[in-house]
Amino acid sequence: MVKEIHKDVLLVGDDAAATRLFLEVLAARGIRGTVAGDTRAAVERVEQRAWDAVVVDLGSPESNRLEVVRHSRQHCPEAPVVLLGTDASVPAAVRAMREGCRDYLVKPVERSAVEALCDSLLPHHTVPLAAAEEADSRCLYQIVGRSPRLFEPIALAKKVAPTSLPVLITGESGTGKELIAYLLHRSSQRAQCPYVRVNCAALSETLLESELLGHERGAFTGAYVQRKGRFERAHSGTLLLDEISETGPRLQAELLRVLEQQDFERVGGTEAISVNVRVISTTNRDLAQEVLRGKFRPDLYYRLCGVRIPVPPLRERREDMPVLVWHFVNQFAREAGRRITQLDPAMMELFFRCPWPGNVRMLRNVVRTALVVGEGPALSLTGAPWLQRELIATAGAPPLRMTLRLDDVERRTILEAMRLSGSHQARAAKLLGITDRTLRNKLRRYREEHPPADLPVAAATPAAGHAEPAREAVGELEPLMSGGKHV
């Protein structure tokens, strides 16, 4: 597990007391605060990068701090902006809302108000990261999970990254193949060189040839200027050929020649251009079978597949389901304006049963929809009944009320809370929305009434090749129940 990627908040103003309070509260939540003392410095920082939130102290009328608010709304409209001021009147708050601010706090600001603000605008549920990297306070990528099946492709990618071997990444749509490709690039000797991506499925064969190789002026109708292709732009770096199986026979032959000789001519040109490019390809098909069917050149397949890295589908790493849900809550709860403190057990039971044909991408969209259309502190599908029906149909099981056993779901939810809190019972209780005493009683009852060998099995039939949900969940809970930490 790697270090967690932090959120970043820009604090604008010269009020030492208010700035110190915000920095203390942010630090307690693992959130970084950057201070800009004047309007010009704040505007420059807003234009340089995206922030998770911006807090602006209006200060004196001459400071023109509203300029920072307007720049922030223009350059990063998703980032919430909070105004601080001394005017407690209703018109002042209305003015802040008209400027697009999410909230308006009257100074002197109380600690409880800052904490409540952070809880609502900067969701920060701890999730384990299998791999992640940041640069210049920017998150480059995050691969979330703790499943052994997820660590296999990550370990292989890190092993071959320092070499120049071509890599073929295989897996179903939505599994995160591009994340593995970027991990390969960032872990390679070419990390500081260009990383260029082309989607082979999005362009016709003629346009794709021009995109890859570039073209000379006048090479075809509309080619008014010379244009460098992706191979040329990726020189000394990495070129990602996304969905390589979508290329046609003619382009496959041209690709093979470029990969073998590392030189090419632009479309309509005669000058040979030499490049040094490491090629990574992705596909959601079985390319070996495509070769047998005659739909993909075998020589190109062997040239691309120096190392093959398969990425598992979500249904083969179901233990990552709650982790991923909390990760997407961190991403989108702010957009929905909701503070999520717990996950609905019925929703999670359905998530565990669903085969997720769209994989992690599908789960992300479902969680985002549930956040936007739902209400309250618990994430559920009650606000999206059509989505619930679709998932039930995809799961191929009777309605939830016929198969769901609440005891089993409760145990699994408590297991996940204990894991997320590092077996700290007080934190787990807060995450679950119950008292520490209630949690201790439940753990004691599970230990006394249901020894691991005699645990009841969930009524829902588990997917083939997977452990029975209730027995697996409570069996794993045993070491947490005996070793939980208290305040």
pLDDT in tens, 423-471: 888 888 877 778 888 888 888 777 766 554 443 333 333 443 344 444 4
Fold of the domain spanning 148-310 = Rossmann fold (3.40.50)
Encode burial over 27-52: b for 16+ CB neighbours within 10 A, e otherwise: eeeebebbbbeebeebbebbeeeebb
The predicted pLDDT at position 450 comes to 55
Please tell me what DSSP assigns to residue 138: E
For the record, the structure tokens of 63 come out as: 């400071």
The predicted pLDDT at position 244 comes to 94
The predicted pLDDT at position 394 comes to 87
For the record, the structure tokens of 420 come out as: 């997320």
Local structure of 294: helix, strand or coil: coil
The predicted pLDDT at position 399 comes to 45
The predicted pLDDT at position 331 comes to 87
Q: Per residue in 32-57, pLDDT tens?
A: 899 998 888 889 888 888 888 999 99
The predicted pLDDT at position 354 comes to 93
Percent of the chain with pLDDT over 90: 42
Q: Which helix (H) or strand (E) holds 362?
A: helix 359-373
* Domain 316-483 listed as CATH 3.30.1340.10: no
d(Cα 469, Cα 408) in Å, to the nearest integer?
8
For the record, the structure tokens of 246 come out as: 């979508």
Residue recorded with tokens 């099995």: 457
Closest CA to 151 of 384, 34, 311, 352: 311
d(Cα 139, Cα 29) in Å, to the nearest integer?
18
Q: Per residue in 238-256, pLDDT tens?
A: 999 999 999 888 889 989 9
The predicted pLDDT at position 437 comes to 83
Q: pLDDT under 50 in the chain at which residues?
A: 1-3, 397-404, 452-483, 485-487
C-alpha distance across the termini of the chain, in Å: 25
8-121 with 316-483: one CATH topology? Answer: no
- Amino acid in position 186: R
Domain boundaries, the chain: 8-121, 148-310, 316-483
d(Cα 222, Cα 312) in Å, to the nearest integer?
43
d(Cα 51, Cα 70) in Å, to the nearest integer?
14
The predicted pLDDT at position 451 comes to 53
CATH architecture of the region 8-121: 3-Layer(aba) Sandwich (3.40)
